[in-house]
């Protein structure tokens, strides 16, 4: 069953921007694969949100493999709140600011 999931506006924009980048730069097939893996990763997070490491205060992170993108989230009142979806090379400060 799992926790309900809510995306912040910033996280929704991150997802749209990343999918668009993949589609424009490397093709629709890879963009579709990214979205599929993103959805399955979010499902795993929703099912076991406390499984993933706390990286800052109450922020947790899960890597979308093999893409090296990171889902940053927190658990708020029994809801998984997705805060950011960023490439792993982006600075943690960017994710903390959300």
pLDDT at 81: 97
Phi, psi of 9 (to 5 degrees): -60, -40
DSSP structural state of residue 48: S
Question: What letter does residue 91 receive in the DSSP assignment?
Answer: -
What pLDDT score was predicted for residue 40? 94
User: What residues contact 55, with CB distance under 8 A and at least 6 apart?
Assistant: 61, 72, 92
User: What Cα–Cα distance (Å) separates residue 66 from each residue in 3, 34, 93, 98?
Assistant: 25, 9, 23, 24
Q: Which of 45, 48, 27, 50 is nearest to 84 (CA)?
A: 45
pLDDT value for 25: 92
Please give the pLDDT value at position 3.
95
Predicted local confidence at residue 97, as pLDDT: 60
* Interval 45-62: pLDDT, tens: 999 999 998 998 999 999
Per residue of the chain (98 residues), what is the pLDDT tens digit? 689 999 999 999 999 999 999 999 999 998 899 999 999 999 999 999 999 989 989 999 999 888 889 999 999 999 999 999 998 876 555 555 65
- CATH, range 5-96: 3.30.2310.20
Which sequence spans correspond to the domains of the chain? 5-96
- Residue 1 has what pLDDT? 66
């Amino acid at each position: 069953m799992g926790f309900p999931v809510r995306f912040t506006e910033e996280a929704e924009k991150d997802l749209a921007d990343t999918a668009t980048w993949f589609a424009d730069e490397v093709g629709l097939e890879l963009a579709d694969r990214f979205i599929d893996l993103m959805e399955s990763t979010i499902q795993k997070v929703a099912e076991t949100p406390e499984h993933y490491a706390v990286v800052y205060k109450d922020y947790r992170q899960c890597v979308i493999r093999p893409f090296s993108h990171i889902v940053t989230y927190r658990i708020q009142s029994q809801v998984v709140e997705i805060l950011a979806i960023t490439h792993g090379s982006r600075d943690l400060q960017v994710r903390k600011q959300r």
